[in-house]
Chain A
Amino acid sequence: MKNAKFAFLAVICMVLLLAACSNSNNNTKPASTPSKTDQPAATPDDSSNEQPKASDKPALPEPATIRLFTENSTAWPVKPDWGVWKWIKEETNITIEPVLATGPESLALAISSGDMPDVLSVFPGDVQKYGPQGAFIDLAQHLDQMPNVKAYLDSKPDVKERVLSPTGEMFSILNDGAGEGSQTVWMYREDIFKKHNLAEPKTWDDLYATAKKLKELYPDSYPFAFRHGLNTLNFIGPSFGIYPEMHPDAKDPSKMKYGLQDPAAKTMVGMLNKFLEEGLIPPDWLTMDYKAWAQFMTTNKSFIAVQFIGQIEIINSQLAEGTLKFMVPPIGAGDQPYLAKSGFENYGLAVSSTTKNLDASLRYLDYIFSAKGRDIQSWGKEGETYTVEGGKRKFNANYKEANDLRVQSGIQTAGTYGWFDFEAWLALVKEEEQASYREAPKYRLNVSNILPVLTTEEAATVSVLNDQIWKFWTGEVTKFIFGDRDMSEWETFVKELDKYDIATIQSTYQTALDRLLANTK
């Protein structure tokens, strides 16, 4: 009797378990169907019920819902009540359902699931991988439906250059406007320099002499500090007219060159070696993280740095006394000071090739790239987020610093804007900190280290080669800087580079560059 009872219970449990499993299985499918069934049901009475305001404004298009794949940042978690979603709804009658990327693998999973969100925030690398595989639609075919996007691209030839695939398709549109925040610049401690009567270094030799003096004055300091390890060469390289790896030649932008083969690279690496040996940069420069760097900067242990531009303000707010200031990059080679070409954005938007809401998706893109969309998605709405005082816009008091725009309203978060008005961001940057944003663009190198887009076959040829040469050069250059390999062997090293089939890599990218230049003419 007891046994029978147990058996019965066990069976019930099993059935419940199975039911739960199959239920959740069933759930995933209908989840996407409502958006389908919504559309025919979204007849005028629907919009008049939900949108009493809609009648005040002339001719809003019919309501639609699209799913937007966007980043999941812990610093500004996506909220359903963000202003950006509301304004999109008010302006376009499109309801956005954000789908969050939980990690770098999320996009690959979304694509292979067969149930991609309609519009996706994507990086160029992903677009190059999955665009030719058929995951995204060719937006070039739909430009007539998106006059604002077309106008935007026509006004930004460098953006257009970066979104065209080798075969002329356009699998994504890159954002623009907010990239000013992600540039790396030189900075120095103005007060310390003044105190000891030191001038801003004009050249790398000056930089060395100044750092040397600072080291004498503060023996346990490391005057020059950076925290991007070997990647820092991409930020200081431009002051020598190069980037370490493959990039278009600054002297002749139609030719690809490998930076380390340039004689200036020897000067650069030799300098770093000298700096390290004399204790002018921290011995653990290769493994320092942000925390370690910030500690050096805020405790008077480092006075010159190469870092993201926004860090000037952040470190200044942590300094007990003294000020960190934008510094003109020192000249390493040639006669002009240069920073890396920057100010562009890396995030873009693509539309899924399996979308069932193509019209609404295109309409959404057209809105965020329009002048009105640009204004609203950057500033919000008058009375709601800002007021106009004496002809100048002023954000409401609840936005204390620029990042609050993201946290509170979702402004300048991935996928919510196309063409950002950076003035909105600057409006919340302190007056005295704005100068660096105005100064930095004056020193940009004419070429960036962004590589021209390869075809799938070309990419397959170089992917393993790229990894091999990367492994070789990073290992050797690290040794040179640490002094484990003597600088006198540099020429041998440059010859060794050839063994890694640098010629194939270079000619592959040269082909791509030629094609790009021909396509954009």
Chain B
Amino acid sequence: MKSSIIKRFKRDRIYLLLLVPLLLYYALFRYAPMFGIAVSFLDYNLFKGFWASDWVGLKHYNMFINNPDAWNIIRNTLVLGGLKLLFLYPAPIILAILFHEMRWKKYRRFVQTVSYMPFFLSSVVVSSILIMLLSPSTGWINQLIVSLGFEPIYFLQQSEWFRPIYIGSDIWQHVGFGTIIYLAALSSIDPQLYEAAKIDGAGRWKQTLHVTLPGIVPAMVIVFILQIGGILELSFDKAFLLGNTATLETSDIISTYVYRIGILGGSFSYAAAIDLSMAVISFLFIYSANKVSRRVGETSLW
């Protein structure tokens, strides 16, 4: 038995060798920095570094829990993340099925390409476009509203508008790119299934319901589990750029708070403690979603 492992090792040595750079990458850039989480248990001194800083245990964690703003910030993050999952998750599935049903290949390819483009714009650009478009004095959207005879709406100054704007622009930005994984899944559906369904008398709608959708369920489950983990990982830049003092009630999320306190205020340890607690919660989300999906269906991450 032992000799067979050595033999297999010898036989596959080239392939194993090819694995080395990737392992090195993960060790150096993914696992080594994880020791940084220790910062959250220290009174970190940037100059003295890791080893010379004082150990303070859970001080920073307690500080966050006892902060009266903490609940509001966590709630904002969860609500925004939840809404994002609710709207951003199904959008690419619907779009991908629509693409799939489209018969005019050239037009389809053109629309697909166009829908990918916003993905490559940075949030900074998207945010400044939004600020310009939504301005109540010079923005096109409000000029349209006014020309239709309504009062202009101060979108960015009203906290109830922050979430729709954030989610809406996120859909615009990511929906096209998100279809790629589903289109790949769709193309792997056996055409014979459609033929069989047609012979059985299924129309287009029934085919979609009973052939197309079940065909992409595994992809849907995987994407869902991945996105569940990302609920708390909202992009900092967009919340920071679109938010302002009028909308702090809804726009102050964990990442913007960490930025203010940790980066601007220089409390690295405190910021690390908040981030680490969020990472733990994210992990719990993924873990339970995976468990549920393994019990209910046969697809799971691990």
Interface residues of A (CB under 8 A from B): 3, 6-7, 10-11, 14, 17, 104-105, 108, 111-112, 114, 125, 129-130, 133-135, 222, 229-230, 282-284, 286-289, 292, 295, 353, 460, 463-464, 467-468, 471, 474-475, 477-479, 482
Ranked 7 nearest A-B pairs via Cβ? A474-B245, A135-B47, A129-B266, A478-B246, A133-B47, A283-B136, A133-B45
Task: Chain B residues near A283: list those with CB within 8 A.
Answer: 136-137, 152, 154
Q: Is B27 an interface residue (CB 8 A)?
A: no
Are A478 and B245 in contact, CB atoms less than 8 angstroms apart? Answer: yes
Q: Is B121 an interface residue (CB 8 A)?
A: no
Are B46 and A135 in contact, CB atoms less than 8 angstroms apart? Answer: yes
**Cβ contacts B256-282/A at 8 Å (1 or 0 each):** 010011010111001000000000000
Q: A14-B17, A287-B135, A482-B154 are in contact. List 11 more A-B contacts (CB 8 A).
A: A14-B20, A108-B46, A284-B136, A287-B131, A287-B244, A292-B137, A460-B267, A463-B265, A468-B67, A471-B252, A478-B246
Are B135 and A467 in contact, CB atoms less than 8 angstroms apart? Answer: no
Q: How far is the CA of A211 from the CA of B45 in the complex (A)?
A: 53
Residue of A nearest to B53 (CB): A133
Are B246 and A475 in contact, CB atoms less than 8 angstroms apart? Answer: yes
Q: Is B69 an interface residue (CB 8 A)?
A: yes
Residue of A nearest to B137 (CB): A282
Are A133 and B67 in contact, CB atoms less than 8 angstroms apart? Answer: no
Are B47 and A482 in contact, CB atoms less than 8 angstroms apart? Answer: no
Q: Out of A114, A460, A474, A478, which one reaches B49, CB within 8 Å?
A: A114
Are B244 and A229 in contact, CB atoms less than 8 angstroms apart? Answer: yes
Residue of A nearest to B246 (CB): A478
Q: How far is the CA of A353 from the CA of B48 in the complex (A)?
A: 11
Count of interface residues, chain B, beta-carbon cutoff 8 Å: 40
Do A292 and B138 form a contact, CB below 8 Å, given A229-B244, A286-B246, A464-B261?
yes
Q: List 9 A-B contacts (CB under 8 A).
A: A10-B17, A10-B18, A104-B263, A111-B47, A134-B45, A286-B157, A474-B248, A475-B249, A482-B246
Interface residues of B (CB under 8 A from A): 13-14, 17-18, 20-21, 45-49, 63, 67-69, 128, 131-132, 135-138, 152, 154, 156-157, 244-246, 248-249, 252, 257, 260-261, 263, 265-267, 270
Q: How far is the CA of A295 from the CA of B138 in the complex (A)?
A: 10
Are A463 and B152 in contact, CB atoms less than 8 angstroms apart? Answer: no
Task: Chain B residues near A477: list those with CB within 8 A.
Answer: 245
Q: How far is the CA of A464 from the CA of B260 in the complex (A)?
A: 10
Are B135 and A464 in contact, CB atoms less than 8 angstroms apart? Answer: no
Q: How far is the CB of B150 from chain A (nearest CB, A)?
A: 14
Q: How far is the CA of A282 from the CA of B154 in the complex (A)?
A: 11
Q: How far is the CB of A215 from chain B (nearest CB, A)?
A: 14
Q: How far is the CA of A117 from the CA of B267 in the complex (A)?
A: 24
Q: How far is the CB of A228 from chain B (nearest CB, A)?
A: 12
Task: Chain B residues near A222: list those with CB within 8 A.
Answer: 137
Q: How far is the CB of B98 from chain A (nearest CB, A)?
A: 35
Residue of B nearest to A135 (CB): B47
Are B157 and A287 in contact, CB atoms less than 8 angstroms apart? Answer: yes
Are B246 and A112 in contact, CB atoms less than 8 angstroms apart? Answer: no
Q: How far is the CA of A17 from the CA of B18 in the complex (A)?
A: 12
Are B248 and A112 in contact, CB atoms less than 8 angstroms apart? Answer: no
Q: How far is the CB of A355 from chain B (nearest CB, A)?
A: 13
Task: Chain A residues near B137: list those with CB within 8 A.
Answer: 222, 282-284, 292
Q: How far is the CA of A379 from the CA of B17 in the complex (A)?
A: 62
Are B21 and A17 in contact, CB atoms less than 8 angstroms apart? Answer: yes
Are B266 and A229 in contact, CB atoms less than 8 angstroms apart? Answer: no
Q: How far is the CA of A460 from the CA of B45 in the complex (A)?
A: 13
Task: Chain A residues near B128: list those with CB within 8 A.
Answer: 289
Are B245 and A14 in contact, CB atoms less than 8 angstroms apart? Answer: no
Q: How far is the CB of B51 from chain A (nearest CB, A)?
A: 12
Residue of B nearest to A116 (CB): B47
Task: Chain A residues near B244: list those with CB within 8 A.
Answer: 229, 286-287, 478
Task: Chain B residues near A467: list those with CB within 8 A.
Answer: 69, 257, 260-261, 265
Task: Chain B residues near A282: list those with CB within 8 A.
Answer: 137
Which of A108, A353, A464, A478 has the most chain B CB atoms closer than 10 A to its own CB? A464
Residue of B nearest to A473 (CB): B245
Are A229 and B245 in contact, CB atoms less than 8 angstroms apart? Answer: yes
Q: How far is the CB of B240 from chain A (nearest CB, A)?
A: 13
Are A133 and B263 in contact, CB atoms less than 8 angstroms apart? Answer: no
Are A464 and B46 in contact, CB atoms less than 8 angstroms apart? Answer: no
Are B131 and A289 in contact, CB atoms less than 8 angstroms apart? Answer: yes
Are B131 and A11 in contact, CB atoms less than 8 angstroms apart? Answer: no
Task: Chain B residues near A468: list those with CB within 8 A.
Answer: 67-69
Do A111 and B46 form a contact, CB below 8 Å, given A222-B137, A286-B157, A295-B138?
yes
Q: How far is the CA of A437 from the CA of B171 in the complex (A)?
A: 50
Are A479 and B138 in contact, CB atoms less than 8 angstroms apart? Answer: no
Q: How far is the CA of A129 from the CA of B46 in the complex (A)?
A: 9
Task: Chain A residues near B47: list those with CB within 8 A.
Answer: 111-112, 130, 133-135, 353
Task: Chain B residues near A129: list those with CB within 8 A.
Answer: 46, 266
Task: Chain A residues near B252: list those with CB within 8 A.
Answer: 471
Are B135 and A292 in contact, CB atoms less than 8 angstroms apart? Answer: yes
Q: How far is the CA of A477 from the CA of B261 in the complex (A)?
A: 22
Q: How far is the CA of A125 from the CA of B267 in the complex (A)?
A: 13
Q: Out of B45, B156, B257, which one reaches A284, CB within 8 Å?
A: B156
Task: Chain A residues near B48: list those with CB within 8 A.
Answer: 133-134
Task: Chain B residues near A479: list those with CB within 8 A.
Answer: 246
Which of B14, B69, B136, B249 has the most chain A CB atoms closer than 10 A to its own CB? B14
Task: Chain A residues near B69: list those with CB within 8 A.
Answer: 467-468, 471
Q: How far is the CB of A221 from chain B (nearest CB, A)?
A: 10
Task: Chain B residues near A230: list those with CB within 8 A.
Answer: 245
Q: Out of B17, B154, B245, which one reaches A475, CB within 8 Å?
A: B245
Q: How far is the CA of A460 from the CA of B249 in the complex (A)?
A: 25
Do A284 and B21 form a contact, CB below 8 Å, given A114-B49, A468-B69?
no
Q: How far is the CA of A179 from the CA of B13 in the complex (A)?
A: 66
Are B63 and A471 in contact, CB atoms less than 8 angstroms apart? Answer: no
Residue of B nearest to A136 (CB): B47
Q: How far is the CA of A478 from the CA of B243 in the complex (A)?
A: 13
Q: How far is the CB of B139 from chain A (nearest CB, A)?
A: 8
Do A284 and B49 form a contact, CB below 8 Å, given A229-B245, A464-B67, A471-B69?
no
Q: How far is the CA of A129 from the CA of B45 in the complex (A)?
A: 9
Task: Chain B residues near A288: list those with CB within 8 A.
Answer: 135
Q: How far is the CA of A143 from the CA of B260 in the complex (A)?
A: 36
Task: Chain B residues near A464: list those with CB within 8 A.
Answer: 63, 67, 261, 270
